[in-house]
Structure formats: structure tokens, C-alpha cells
Amino acid sequence: MCPSRVAEGEERGWIVPIGGAEDRETRRRILKRFVQLCGGRDANIVIIPTASRKADTGQRYVELFERLEAGRSVAIDFVERNDGQREDLLREIEGASGVFFTGGNQLRISTIIGGTPAAKLIRERNARGVPVAGTSAGASILSEHMIAFGKEGSSPRAGSVRLAPGLGLTNRFIIDQHFRQRDRLGRLVAALAYNPFAIGIGLDEDTAAFIGPDNTLEVEGSGSVTVVDAGGMEFSSMADVSQSQPVCLLGLTVHILVAGATYNLHTRQASPGTLATQKT
């Protein structure tokens, strides 16, 4: 799915992938910042719990956003593909000042919502300035290329990852979540071996990448974001090795970013951001 075109004079909305298990009880820095981007007490947040099989997932986020003083939040679940063209659900998305995808299974989102009028409308709303966030599976779905599933481990191996079309808000990156906790470096790097144009973003739990309209990523949360840039890759053996064999990749650039650090997805430059000012 290609990103929707941003009209002249307008700015794309923020894209906020979260690595899962975000803090919902104490400081709640990630969710608080998302609520503020959506308008704070004037916010109208649509929660999409389609990835989850738990019946109460959407309502739990409604109650959480209410505690964070969001003006209004509502959960709209897409149970079958026909729901993706229901006028009442499309009206909720059209009026939203923010959209939030919960965790679960990203393939449930892509197979139920992908290619429907609802998916197209979410892309259009983001292109017109509406922030879109997702946690865990909801983070993976945000980009054009989505990791559907794969094997854990720190070394890239042929066949260790399967890609599927995502929601398509952007084609600049590929997301993986629960990154350090589930040892997912190998499958993210393998995904980049298939598509070196994209930038790999590995999100630890309780950690988010706040990606602004200028394509600058800023880290928020208690963990780190691993950025893998394959743009300068000099060699890859991916096309020559057998299934499950390790892959040789030369020329990758890796950055480990923590809260306050930034990365520009356009220039591919990393910065300590606010961390630098803390030393002065």
C-alpha cells in the first residue's frame, strides 16, 4: 500500500510506533504525549483493537485515555472485511483527531482491514495531519512493508522472516517490536536484506518512535530504539544461501537511540538530541 499524497501546504500527521508493553500505570510518558498530539482535552481518539482477540482490549484503552484526560475516545472493532466499508465506522475515522491500533496479531489487521475503504481513509487522514499510533502488532502494521512473522535470534538467516503488506502510512521504514526482549535483530536485518531501501526500526518494550512530519524520529520511553540502515550495504549473500543458512551482509550502519535521541529518516543522520544538552 503506497502512502497517501500530502497536499501542498499541509503536513503529514505524526506516526508513532510503540514497542509494546507501554507503561500504562505510572508515568505513562508515551501515551500522554500521544494524547497531547491528538489535541489533549479536545482530542477525539479512535481505538482499533482488531489485532487482539480479547473482547475488552478496546474498552481498556478507552478508560486509559479517559484517565489521561483525552476529550473523547471510542473503540471501533473491525471483525470482518465488510466492516471496513461500514459508514458508521468510516464517520468515526473521518472525525478523529488521532487513531490508535492496539497489540495482538498484525495479520489480523492486514487481512481484515487491508485494502478496505477504512484503510484508505486512515492513510488519507494521516496525510492530512492526523496522528496515527500503534503498539506491538499495531506498530508493525503502520508501514508499507510489514514483518508478518519470523524466527527469533541475533543472526540474519535466509527464510527467517516473512513480509506482508502493511497499512502503508510510509515506505521509509520496517518496524519490529518487543525487540530486545524477544531477540529480534536477526529477523529485522533479514527483512532489510530483501529491501535495503527501507530503514529498520527495532523498538524495545515501553519505547516509542515519535516520527514527525519532517521525518525526524525522536525516541520516548524507558528502553531503546535500534536503527539499522542498509542504504550503504556493500554486499549481501541473501540470494545465494539455502534456507536457514546465515547471511553475510557488509556495510550496515547501526544506531542505538534512547529517550531524547533523534534520527532523520530522510538524511539518515542520527543525533543525541536532548541528550547532548544534558551534558552542558
Contact, 88 vs 74, CB < 8 A? no
How far from chain centre, in Å, is Cα 169? 9
Q: Residue 114's closest CA among 143, 94, 87, 93?
A: 143
Known catalytic residue at 136 = yes
| Catalytic hit among 22, 92, 205, 220 | 205
Known catalytic residue at 178 = yes
Give the integer Cα–Cα distance in Å for 85 and 79: 12
Known catalytic residue at 152 = no
| Catalytic hit among 22, 73, 92, 178 | 178
Q: Where are the extended beta strands (E) located within the chain?
A: 15-18, 44-48, 72-75, 98-101, 132-135, 145-150, 161-165, 173-176, 199-203, 207-211, 216-221, 224-229, 235-236, 249-250, 253-258, 262-264, 269-271
| Catalytic hit among 136, 143, 224, 236 | 136
CA angle 27, 33, 34 (to 5 degrees): 120
| Contact residues for 91 (Cβ-Cβ < 8 A; gap 6+) | none
Give the integer Cα–Cα distance in Å for 237 and 56: 46
Give the H/E segment covering residue 29: helix 29-37
Phi, psi of 246 (to 5 degrees): -65, 150
User: Which residues belong to the active site?
Assistant: 136, 178, 205
